[in-house]
Structure 1
Amino acid sequence: MIIDSQKRSFGKGEKVSLFTLGTMRATESLEKMYNIIKNAYSAGINHIETAPSYGNAESLIGNSLKKLAREENISEKNWVITTKVLPKGDFKFLKSNFKKSLKNLNLKRVNNLAIHGLNLKKHLDWVLAGDGKKFISWILEKELVDQVGFSSHGSYSLIKEAIDCEVFSFCSLHLHYLDQSKITLAEKAIKKGMGVLAISPADKGGRLFSPSNILIEASKPFHPLELAYRFLLAKGITTLSLGATHNKDFEFAEKLRNSSEKLTIHEKNALKKIEDVANERLNSTKCEQCRCCLPCPNEIPIPEILRLRNISIGYGQLEFSKERYNLIGKAGHWWEEKNSSFCQECNECVPKCPSKLDIPNLLKQTHSLLIETPTKRLWG
């Protein structure tokens, strides 16, 4: 028997579970997608997130949902579906590709459509005044979606502008326990009545499904990933994406399916211990992420790089930090473009830092610690 799970309002659309199934990692076969969606249902998940960019994910989802309805009596009406479009192309191209998405998903309409990767100012301009505006008007007028939102890997100021533009009803943001820089934006969106999805708090949030011994010891009696999930849910983040590849990936989603209450004293104590351990390991070299060092004359994303240093040294998540650092300059507008090697030691950042950090030296140390041959991105 399936025990119902808590649902939260997601903008103007259907309510969604506290966890969302991300489908980027389940595209190997119909059998894989079918089993992942079936297990998501058992874990209380009703929200599926996908995109045409995820290979054949949409068609696999469409076929899996039909199979689940036929073989398991799990109605297709149980699901809330979010798909995406990239912020480019003319009106004709956008219409054609969206119709392909509906066909692949075996749907006449979809619950939510996100502008996928609203990362640059020109992307938002495309939405507000270009063919994106025309497309959004058409898709809403034809009632082919309940609502339109966006996902973004962009700057704080760009995301704020997108939240304030009154076009979008939900947003997907990088909201992580180990990177809280966008939490205030999420709170702003929630206050406006928007739905907020946290992008990959397990993987891009620090690869917390594979925690260091430092994190494991500091977070006892909890698992670090469980605490990271609870931190976000207690903040009121609507739903957390879970890019499952195996049945065991649903362990905490099932355990926390109704866990939106405020943090308990035991959870707070564990989180404090994690921070105490990290502070002790970083000592006086911790970057507080205040961003006072910006702008850098050489356009180095100093806070992002020193955040990776914090994570690798303070929390022991070295492999995650290496992966992210070595994607700099190799992922287009989806990630930062310049690493520490671009520092010319002009020292303009040093007097701006409230913590009086020797930033040029820390950047050099971080480069030596993290640089290696980059790995291929999952998609794109």
Structure 2
Amino acid sequence: MTTEPLAGVGVRRAFGAGPEVSLFTLGTMRALKDREQMVAVVRAAHAAGINHLETAPAYGPAETFLGQSLDQLAREGIAPEGGWLITSKLLPGLSLEQGKRALSACLERLGRPFLHGLAVHGLNREDHLHWAIDGDGARLLEWALRSGLVGQVGFSSHGPNSLIARAISTGRFQFCSLHLHLLDPARLPLALQALGAGMGVMAISPADKGGRLQAPSSLLRADCQPWEPLALAYRYLLAAGISTLMVGANSPADLNLAASMASSDGALTPAEQTALTRLERLRQQRLGETLCHQCRACLPCPQEVPIPELLRLRNLRLGHHLKEFTEERYNLIGRAGHWWEEVNAEGCETCGDCLPRCPHQLAIPDLLAETHQLLAAAPRRRLWG
């Protein structure tokens, strides 16, 4: 469901069982320098028509700075119509008592008596799902709802698609946050499954994790003309019905595009669809018969090499010259635990198990070796954690 724009506000969309949210959500993981920085980006979010704020204890001082910022803006009379909607997250694995204390501490840092949304932060593994559905996590989420401290519960996930699908199908969650990207649409069917079940869906970092689209390669910019790649990516997700798109801002300028697109609802125009078709066609032309179509038929790999994900990075490196992004993602492998892949292309032992399963007859071991040669570089620091 989508509502008509409120005057000076922009479109708002249904989000699970809670109040309607703006098309864009402010993610607070990048405004961590000091309270003044957070005040500036929250003020800009308000000016951009945003009413939904996403934070987490794992983001260092984000909750504290956010609570202080909201207090200052309240003194200035700055708040969206209907008030700010705040979602925070707790890591899986806590005992019931630990979870109660963690939620109380979260509310204290924010200076708020209530969260509109509480999410499991990184439902990435089987034991995480068990914790949330049958273990102490289930009791924690039920207590949070029953006590009136939380309006609705959800999850974010960086895990495998099969796990996300099962989490959605449990019916226990009212919203989810997923990696949904123009250049990586593999999880879009999961988002549509969640929307069809009445859940809210938030796209995690469609700009940065979507290919550093805020600073695209000159080739990708040319491929997307007459649109900027990030604007086209936003329209692709919004036209698919995604409830809200997260923008992790560290300065007010990072919200300029969101402000200009606060009412960019509706289906893709013919011109937008033409641009998307051209983008895919150019990628196919550049990669030729070596393009990985992401069908995942090659899996499972006996060595647990994430073949489709690695070849997707190769697609983007050679197809659109996304050098910085693909090197960063590749060299994070094995350094982020369950938040990202743990085996890189060097794990391939050229056993050939995948070869007969590939419908496109790709020389997968050779392509993996090339991917490692293309992308291996010095590791870089994660944003947080």
1:341-356 alignment to 2 at 5 Å? Answer: 341-356=346-361
Pick aligned residue for 1:7 from 8, 12, 29: 12
Q: Is the 8 A contact 2:28 2:249 kept in 1?
A: yes
SS of 1:62's equivalent in the other structure is: helix
Q: What one-letter code is carried by the residue in structure 1 that aligns with 2:347?
A: F
Residue 72 of structure 1: how far off its partner (Å): 4.0
Tell me the percent identity: 51
Residue 294 of structure 1: how far off its partner (Å): 0.3
1:226-237 alignment to 2 at 5 Å? Answer: 226-237=231-242
Pick aligned residue for 1:375 from 373, 380, 384: 380
SS of 2:120's equivalent in the other structure is: strand
Q: What one-letter code is carried by the residue in structure 2 that aligns with 1:360?
A: P
d(CA) in 1 for partners of 2:334, 2:367? 20
1:318-366 Cα distance to aligned partner (Å, 9 max, x none):
1100000001111000000100001110111111111110000000000
Pick aligned residue for 1:166 from 159, 163, 171: 171
d(CA) in 1 for partners of 2:108, 2:252? 28
Change (3 A) 1:73 1:253: closer
Residue 88 of structure 1: how far off its partner (Å): 1.3
Q: Is the 8 A contact 1:173 1:198 kept in 2?
A: yes
Q: Over aligned residue pairs, what C-alpha RMSD do you find?
A: 1.2
Q: Is the 8 A contact 1:69 1:76 kept in 2?
A: no
Q: Which residue of 1 aligns with 2:3?
A: none
Q: Kindly indicate whether residue 248 of structure 2 is the aligned counterpart of residue 240 of structure 1.
A: no
Q: Kindly indicate whether residue 84 of structure 2 is the aligned counterpart of residue 53 of structure 1.
A: no
1:1-380 alignment to 2 at 5 Å? Answer: 3-74=8-79, 78-380=83-385
Change (3 A) 1:327 1:179: same
d(CA) in 2 for partners of 1:103, 1:128? 27
1:280-312 Cα distance to aligned partner (Å, 9 max, x none):
111111000000000001100000000000011
1:68-115 Cα distance to aligned partner (Å, 9 max, x none):
010244379521100000001211111111101101111111100000
User: Which deviates the most, 83-92 or 244-253?
Assistant: 244-253
Q: Is the 8 A contact 2:50 2:80 kept in 1?
A: no
Change (3 A) 1:292 1:36: same
d(CA) in 2 for partners of 1:203, 1:336? 18
Residue 269 of structure 1: how far off its partner (Å): 1.3
Q: Is the 8 A contact 2:12 2:20 kept in 1?
A: yes
Residue 192 of structure 1: how far off its partner (Å): 0.4
SS of 2:45's equivalent in the other structure is: helix
d(CA) in 2 for partners of 1:44, 1:71? 17
Q: Is the 8 A contact 1:117 1:153 kept in 2?
A: yes
d(CA) in 1 for partners of 2:287, 2:296? 18
d(CA) in 2 for partners of 1:193, 1:77? 22
d(CA) in 2 for partners of 1:93, 1:76? 35
Q: What one-letter code is carried by the residue in structure 2 that aligns with 1:45?
A: I
Q: What one-letter code is carried by the residue in structure 2 that aligns with 1:227?
A: L
SS of 1:278's equivalent in the other structure is: helix
SS of 1:82's equivalent in the other structure is: strand
Alignment gaps of 5+ in structure 1: none
Q: Is the 8 A contact 1:68 1:75 kept in 2?
A: no
The alignment's TM-score, normalised by the length of structure 1, stands at 0.98
SS of 2:172's equivalent in the other structure is: coil
Q: Is the 8 A contact 1:176 1:232 kept in 2?
A: yes
d(CA) in 1 for partners of 2:93, 2:356? 41
Q: What one-letter code is carried by the residue in structure 2 that aligns with 1:82?
A: T
Q: What one-letter code is carried by the residue in structure 1 that aligns with 2:29?
A: M
1:108-142 Cα distance to aligned partner (Å, 9 max, x none):
11100000000000001011121111111111111
SS of 2:57's equivalent in the other structure is: coil
The alignment's TM-score, normalised by the length of structure 2, stands at 0.97
d(CA) in 1 for partners of 2:211, 2:238? 17
Q: What one-letter code is carried by the residue in structure 2 that aligns with 1:350?
A: L
Alignment gaps of 5+ in structure 2: 1-5
Q: Is the 8 A contact 2:46 2:80 kept in 1?
A: no
d(CA) in 1 for partners of 2:135, 2:243? 30
